[in-house]
Homo-oligomer: A and B are copies of this chain.
Amino acid sequence: MKNKFRSGCPIASTLDIVGDKWSLLIIRDMLIKHKKTFKEISDSDEKIAPSILSARLKLLESYKLIFKTKVPDNKKENIYLLTEKGIRLTPIIIEFSLWGDSNMREFNEIDIIDGLKADKSMIIGTVQNNYNSMLLQFA
């Protein structure tokens, strides 16, 4: 894996990893919808192609935003879970959600998301707590 970082700027470096059209949607599905398998993530509204999903999962794993595991009773199915690093993307996801909700209605019909009017840090806390609770069954 060659060095793909354009500069030492933390914003640019973050964009170098998740600055594409798909990575943050994969994270969204994992973090908010608790999707865990290739199949589940494939079945999103936005129809990600398997070749892209495969490549993104590998990349996200290489930067330790996600990790791969299995459950004892299924030898085939991979379970993809967010690491701490990945879970810490929650504030970014929530800010994207809030910005789209407030600023894109002029150009696209935006879904109403329940609870988006609540206090920001509470939303972030809730999302992270819910994910961590779900994680316990794999610990």
Contacts and interface: CB of A to CB of B under 8 A. Distances in A.
Interface of A: 3, 5-17, 19-21, 24-25, 28, 45-47, 63-64, 85, 88-89, 91-93, 95-104, 106-111, 113
Assembly of this chain: how many copies? 2
Nearest to A108: B5
B107 A10 contact: no
A86 B129 CA distance: 31
Contacts of A92: 92, 95-96, 99
Contact of A15 (B3, B6, B8, B24): B24
Given A16-B21, A24-B15, A104-B14, A9 B89 contact: no
Contact of A45 (B6, B28, B106): B6
A49 to B, nearest CB: 12
A97 B28 contact: no
B95 A45 contact: no
B103 A6 contact: no
Nearest to A19: B21
